[in-house]
Structure 1
């Protein structure tokens, strides 16, 4: 059984497409109760038999999913790909895609109602 953590709490969590992974989500979201409102990431097993020729066996991988759907798809990226994307976020390259304050408030309301 895997887990999910937000840096303050840890809860059991399992996605059948990536069993046993220990998922992480932003500390800006709650785990008690678990609010399903976040992209989650986990260290995935090293690549083995990856279909893309540029991902050789042994490449370290990162799994990415949506905590709103425990049965949902799991995307896997090399750590190099994930690092480049995270650096772009830090550099502000995706700021135009960020939610407005109103959108964040609305999302929080929806998450709280669905958790009740």
Structure 2
């Protein structure tokens, strides 16, 4: 059995597509089993036989999924790819996809 943590609490969690991984979600999110609200990441096994030529065997990989459903699809990215994405997030290149203040307030009100 894998786990899911937000840095404060850890619970048992397995995704059927990637069992036994230890998943992490943002610390600003809830970990209540009823309230699922976040993208989750896990260190995945190193690549082996990846179909794309830019991912040679032994490449360190990251699994990405959604905590709302333990049967959610899992996307695998190399750590280089995820690092480039994080750099873009930090630089504000994806700010247009962030929830508005109104959306955040509505989500908070829905959970109380």
Distance (whole Å) between structure 1 residues aligned to residue 76 and residue 107 of structure 2: 26
Q: What number of residue pairs does the alignment pair up?
A: 112
SS at 1:80 equivalent: helix
Structure-1 residue corresponding to 2:105: 105
1:88–1:94: 8 Å Cα contact kept in structure 2? Answer: yes
In the alignment, structure 1 residue 48 sits paired with structure 2 residue 61: no
| Alignment partners' CA distance in 1, 2:14 and 2:109 | 25
For the residues of structure 2 that align with 1:6 and 1:69, how far apart are their CA atoms?
A: 17
TM-score by length of 1: 0.90
Q: Which residue of 2 aligns with 1:95?
A: 95
* Structure 1 outlier segments of 4+, above 3 Å: none
In structure 2, stretches of 5+ residues that fail to align are: none
Equivalent residue, structure 1, for 2:24: 24
Q: Report the equivalent of 1:83.
A: 83
| Distance of 1:84 and 1:34 partners within structure 2 | 33
Q: CA deviation at 1:101?
A: 1.1
**How large is the Cα RMSD of the aligned pairs?**
1.4
The 2-side partners of 1:109 and 1:97 are apart by 21
